[in-house]
């Protein structure tokens, strides 16, 4: 059994990672139907992500691959077919053991991504990615490090 990672350690990891080059944009698809929102995300092997704090209960679903997850006072590997209920206040650190596809399913009256994050996650000014999991303007991407070193 893996050790439990306290929330304070996940927050510390997030603070350290914010000063490092970031992963490139990850394919993220948004789907809406009947008062539900489904977010599908592809995560390349070797990627580490610290999520925002979730304001709503929802499902976290493994579609393919293996993802090591720390959060909610638990550590586990999510695989294809796994469904994990996420509680309000959840913040996760994840590591993609293999290429991974995961989904989250949320209850909402929204029919587009406009304002969706305001409803689903706590405001986090330190977050370097937008709702589509694309790095925000000015963020150094891991593949840009060589160019950054050449320029200095």
- Dihedral angle over CA of 49, 107, 131, 21, nearest 10: 0
Across the range 57-82, mean pLDDT stands at 94
Amino acid 5: pLDDT: 81
Whether the pLDDT of residue 39 is over 80: the answer is yes
Domains in the chain (CATH in brackets) are 7-122 (2.60.120.10)
3 compared with 19, residue with greater pLDDT: 19
Band of pLDDT at residue 137, cut at 50, 70 and 90: confident
* Helix runs in 19-142, H state only: 116-120
Paired tokens of 133? 């999991």
Paired tokens of 16? 């350290």
Strand, coil or helix: what is 1? Answer: coil
CA atoms within 13 Å, Cβ hemisphere of 32: 9
CA–CA distance, 52 with 58 (Å, rounded to integer): 14
5 compared with 69, residue with greater pLDDT: 69
Amino acid 150: pLDDT: 54
Across the range 21-43, mean pLDDT stands at 95
CA–CA distance, 120 with 6 (Å, rounded to integer): 22
Q: Which residues are CB-contacts of 59 (< 8 A; sequence separation ≥ 6)?
A: 83, 84, 85, 86, 103, 104, 105
Band of pLDDT at residue 141, cut at 50, 70 and 90: confident
144-152: list long-range contacts, CB under 8 Å, 24+ apart.
144/21, 145/21, 148/21
């Amino acid at each position: 059994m893996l050790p439990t990672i306290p929330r304070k350690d996940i927050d510390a990891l997030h603070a350290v990672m914010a000063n490092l080059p970031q992963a490139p944009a990850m394919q993220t698809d948004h789907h809406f139907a009947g008062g539900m929102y489904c977010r599908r995300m592809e995560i390349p092997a070797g990627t580490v992500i610290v999520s925002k704090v979730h304001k709503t209960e929802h499902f976290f679903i493994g579609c393919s691959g293996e993802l090591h997850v720390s959060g909610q006072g638990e550590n586990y590997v999510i695989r294809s077919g796994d469904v994990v209920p996420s509680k309000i206040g959840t913040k996760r650190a994840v590591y993609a053991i293999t290429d991974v596809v995961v989904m989250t399913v949320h209850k909402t009256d929204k029919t587009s991504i406009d304002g969706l994050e305001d409803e689903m996650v706590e405001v986090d000014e330190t977050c370097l990615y937008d709702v589509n999991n694309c790095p925000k303007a000015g963020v150094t991407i891991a593949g840009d490090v060589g160019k950054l070193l050449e320029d200095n």
